[in-house]
Chain A
Amino acid sequence: MPGHGGHSGAVPLAADASWALLDALIVAALLVAVGGYLRALRSARRRGPWPALRTTSWMLGALCAGAATLGPIAIAAPSSLTGHMLAHLLLGMLAPLLLVLGAPVTLLLRALPVTAARRLTRVLRSAPLRVLTHPVSAAVLNAGGLGALYATDLYGLVHASALVHGIVHVHLLLAGYLLTAALVGVDPDPHRASIGVRAAVLLAFMAVHSIIAKRVYGAPPAGVEAADAHVASQLMYYGGDVVDVTLLVLLGLAWLRATRPRRAAVPAAA
């Protein structure tokens, strides 16, 4: 039985069906993500080559999202905060980074006919998306979600209701994607914030992430054993650091590109 086998037995049949439906929706979403990218790739080929690294990154991102929501990690998550935290790192941090580096919007703009591409550009420039993709709002969405998940009763509900589970995990992935794209995105962004704003937001988010991770150590969600909470907290703290420092390095690379000198100050060899 795929997915949330742990729920069978005590839970009524209707609840079991809702978990099965959730699993089916996840599989469908993953197929759309992978299939859609490959389809767009075929249409975009006509307009020049597409870096294989971007395709690889997108596929690995989908793999991470799948590993977090289906299979052994997802099965372990309801009974272990550590399992849940591993899923959280994969779905909320690593998958968004890999998906963003896959440059899906650039690919889509290349694949679509000109009129459709123009329409997409208009949507991307619209006021709501402009607000949503600002680093500050994206970071607030992320940090707010984390705070709500671990400091309230939401964590218990996540494993009791398939609907809440689905909403929380979609939020985790989308908020992570928005923040990563706002900070180090490679897709066109007509209103990209300055490097200074992005660096400040990233550092503030790092701080908040590490504070929440340590709170999980000291004050874990209800029903979680201390030993489990300790491992989970350290996984969140150090795992979060690995991804955050990667983001810092990518931001530094963006800064290097933006401040590239017009001409080399010194010839390479005398």
Chain B
Amino acid sequence: MTSTSSRGGARASDAGAEPIRRVVLSGVLFGAGIAASVVDLFLFHLVLQWHHFYDLGTTEMAIAADGFFHAAAWGMTVAGLFLLVDARRRAPVRWSRWTGAVLAGLGGFQLLDAVVNHKLLGIHQVRYDVDLLPYDIAWIGSAVVVLAIGLVVLRRSRGRAER
């Protein structure tokens, strides 16, 4: 396993940076897609119904915004997986790199959601009619941890490949 993947890595870099970028892009898209479709849409919007994508306007607007968010989330998830298939047929894929990219995408999306949508734009909060602080800490904290693990895994896989 180790020997084949390191040889694969050497070949992949011979073939150019394109396949490596594709693997990372695939992982980030898939991770962000999972964060958006499973974590956010399914768990928070549909099951718990704590918030929706756009809670500032009317219910109609919340529903419309969720509709487009829902389509984008599915698009990212499926596109990420197809990019992975494409990368695999061009060069062997280093799975640690893909896994790292998925975690980075997942954590990155959640962090972006928290900072931009919750705090800067304020278009929705994690939950309403509660003390927000513990919810924000849990949301942002978990996002940062997942993103950091993803970046570390990504960095280590790159370090080995480019030696």
User: Which A residues fall within an 8 A CB radius of B?
Assistant: 199, 203-204, 206-208, 210-211, 214-215, 218, 241, 244-245, 248-249, 252, 255-256, 259-261, 264-266, 270
Contacts and interface: CB of A to CB of B under 8 A. Distances in A.
A256 B82 contact: yes
B11 A218 contact: no
A261 B16 CA distance: 14
Contact of B64 (A206, A211, A266): A211
Contacts of B70: 206-207, 210
B85 interface: yes
Contact of B81 (A203, A210, A252, A265): A252
A194 to B, nearest CB: 15
Contact of A245 (B78, B82, B85, B91): B78
B120 interface: no
Given A265-B15, A265-B91, A206 B85 contact: no
A199 B75 contact: yes
B7 A211 contact: no
23 contacts: A199-B79, A203-B71, A203-B75, A207-B67, A207-B71, A211-B63, A211-B64, A211-B67, A214-B63, A218-B59, A245-B78, A248-B74, A248-B75, A252-B78, A252-B81, A252-B85, A256-B85, A260-B89, A266-B8, A266-B15, A266-B91, A266-B92, A270-B7
A210 B4 CA distance: 45
Interface of B: 4, 7-8, 11, 15, 19, 59, 63-64, 66-68, 70-72, 74-75, 78-79, 81-82, 85-86, 89-92
Question: Dominant SS at the B interface?
Answer: helix
A199 B72 CA distance: 11
A206 B78 contact: no
A130 to B, nearest CB: 27
Contact of B86 (A203, A215, A259): A259
Given A207-B68, A218-B59, A245 B74 contact: yes
Q: Which 9 A-B pairs have the closest CB atoms?
A: A252-B82, A211-B67, A206-B71, A207-B71, A207-B67, A207-B68, A203-B71, A210-B67, A248-B78
A200 B105 CA distance: 22
Given A218-B59, A265-B91, A256 B67 contact: no
Given A245-B78, A248-B78, A256 B71 contact: no
Contacts of B11: 265-266
Given A214-B63, A264-B89, A204 B71 contact: yes
Contacts of A245: 74, 78
Contacts of B81: 252
Contact of B74 (A204, A241, A260): A241
B50 to A, nearest CB: 17
Given A252-B81, A266-B11, A210 B92 contact: no
B63 A215 contact: yes
B19 A218 contact: no
Contacts of A241: 74
A263 B85 CA distance: 16
A252 B8 CA distance: 25
Contacts of A266: 8, 11, 15, 90-92
Given A208-B67, A256-B82, A261 B74 contact: no
